[in-house]
Amino acid sequence: MKITSIDAFVLAVPTPKPMALNYAQQKLVVAEISTDEGVKGLGYSLVFGGGGAEAVHAYLETRLAPVLIGEDPLFVERLWEKMFRTDMGMKKQGVAAYALSALDIGLWDIAGKAAGLPLYKLWGAVTDRIPAYGSGGWSKYSERELIAEAEKYAALGCKYYKMKIHHADPRENAKRVGAVRRALGDGVRMMVDVNQRLDVLANIRQAQVLEEFDLVWYEEPVLADDIAACAEVAHGIKIPVATGENNYTRFEFRDLVERRAARVLMPDVCRANGFSETMRIGRHAAAHQIAVAPHVVHELSLQVVGALPNGFLVEFIDWTPPDLFEEMPECRDGCFSVPERPGHGMALARGAKEKYRSA
């Protein structure tokens, strides 16, 4: 089989309320990979909030797609290496990693379709049903909007809900967490997300006032670049630390593991150099008693969690309009069934490309 062409474009998709209060739109950088045998692969990277999507598109189209043309798409690992080593001065972090991720996801989609298997089974399945946590709770939500969102996910059976703690006063954050906690009751446990906003001491103080809430994890306490500081927080607070959505390679994740900087790792398949690198990260974590709960894009992450013995949860942000994907997995009793269609199982809905295309 040979790759004959790659059509890359950007989709700009509006989000619903209340998410739209903080993020009015999302962008997907999409790569449709065609082959001489008629098998097609869909790859895409979700660029959260949309910032930088055009740069990802440009790098994908001008630098990475050309190295795949004429190659056999089933040599996924070899092609991953080829892309990773393209432009050695352009590290595969940030923009370049989103671009590589989209193409790697598209290659795996072809591999699954050629084998007639969903990816989680191609990789050696562990489970076909994955628990999800409802995620959102952004800073611009009123307390009413926050509780309404948490209750919406609880009504879908989710046993976990994650919210942001972005207020400058740690007691204000604790008050908001407490309000949601009381509304949800004991059947739902919670997580909080700092999104890299604090330093080590501020995190220690913030975590202390949250101890009473039996939190599952305390997320992304410091700048993702500063793995030493993350480790210091992890050792200095009683709530388990989760991080990884802004780390990009197995080498960064190896540092997180070696320093015991997190109990839960959260690679994003659209950032951490695709399914290939995310699976390597997940298997490395499995050797160190560390769980994996991939960041966003649950429709893709289901395949990863379904194939890892240390897979924990997928992150469910219910934002996609019904006319974006052909068949979005449905949350039932707080869980998703892993799509059984060959490949990753996702396809753009008819007309989505025309409706949402922005570049």
| Cα gap 338→226, rounded to integer Å | 34
DSSP single-letter state for residue 247 = -
Nearer to Mg ion, 104 or 193 (CB): 193
Residue 109 or 193 having the CB closest to Mg ion? 193
* Interface contacts to Mg ion, rule CB under 5 A: 193
- Provide the token pair at 239: 């709530």
Return the amino acid letter for 31. A
Handedness of CA 322, 305, 114, 274 (dihedral sign): positive
Q: How far is the CB of 195 from Mg ion (least distance, A)?
A: 6
Q: Which residue has the tokens 């590589």?
A: 100
Radius of gyration of the chain (CA): 20
CB of 278 to Mg ion, least distance (A): 16
CB closer to Mg ion, 59 vs 217: 217
Q: How many CB atoms lie within 10 A of CB 123?
A: 20
Longest dimension (CA), the chain: 60
CA distances from 73 to 6, 32, 34 (A): 12, 13, 10
How many CA atoms are closer than 13 Å to the CA of 118, on its beta-carbon side?
Answer: 22
CB of 166 or CB of 181, closer to Mg ion: 166
Residue closer to Mg ion, measured from CB, 35 or 247: 247
Would you state the structure tokens that stand for residue 99, as one six-digit string?
Answer: 């671009």
Alpha helices in the chain (DSSP H): 53-59, 65-68, 76-84, 95-115, 119-122, 143-155, 170-184, 200-208, 227-236, 250-258, 274-286, 298-305, 352-356
We find the least distance from the C-beta atom of residue 268 to Mg ion, in angstroms, to be: 9
Query: Minimum CB separation from Mg ion for residue 242, in Å?
Result: 8
CB of 241 to Mg ion, least distance (A): 12
| Least distance in angstroms from the C-beta of 139 to Mg ion | 13
Token pair in block for residue 77: 């690992």
Residue whose C-alpha is closest to residue 108's, from 31, 7, 8: 31
| Closer CB to Mg ion, 105 or 266, in the complex | 266
Residue nearest to Mg ion (CB): 193
- Which amino acid, residue 24? A
Q: For residues 68 and 296, which CB has a smaller minimum distance to Mg ion in the complex?
A: 296
Report, in Å, the least distance between residue 190 CB and Mg ion: 14
Q: Which is nearer to Mg ion, 195 or 358 (CB)?
A: 195
Minimum CB distance to Mg ion smaller for 193 or for 277: 193
Q: Which whole-number Å values give the CA distances from 189 to 161, 314, 320, 341, in the listed order?
A: 7, 15, 25, 32
Residue 313 beta carbon to Mg ion: minimum distance, rounded to whole angstroms: 13
Give the Cα separation of 275 and 277 in Å (integer).
6
The minimum distance between CB 193 and Mg ion, in angstroms, equals: 4
Q: Provide the minimum distance between the beta carbon of 198 and Mg ion in the complex, in angstroms, as a whole number.
A: 14
C-beta of 112 vs 244, nearer to Mg ion: 244
Q: What sign has the CA pseudo-torsion 106, 110, 116, 121?
A: negative
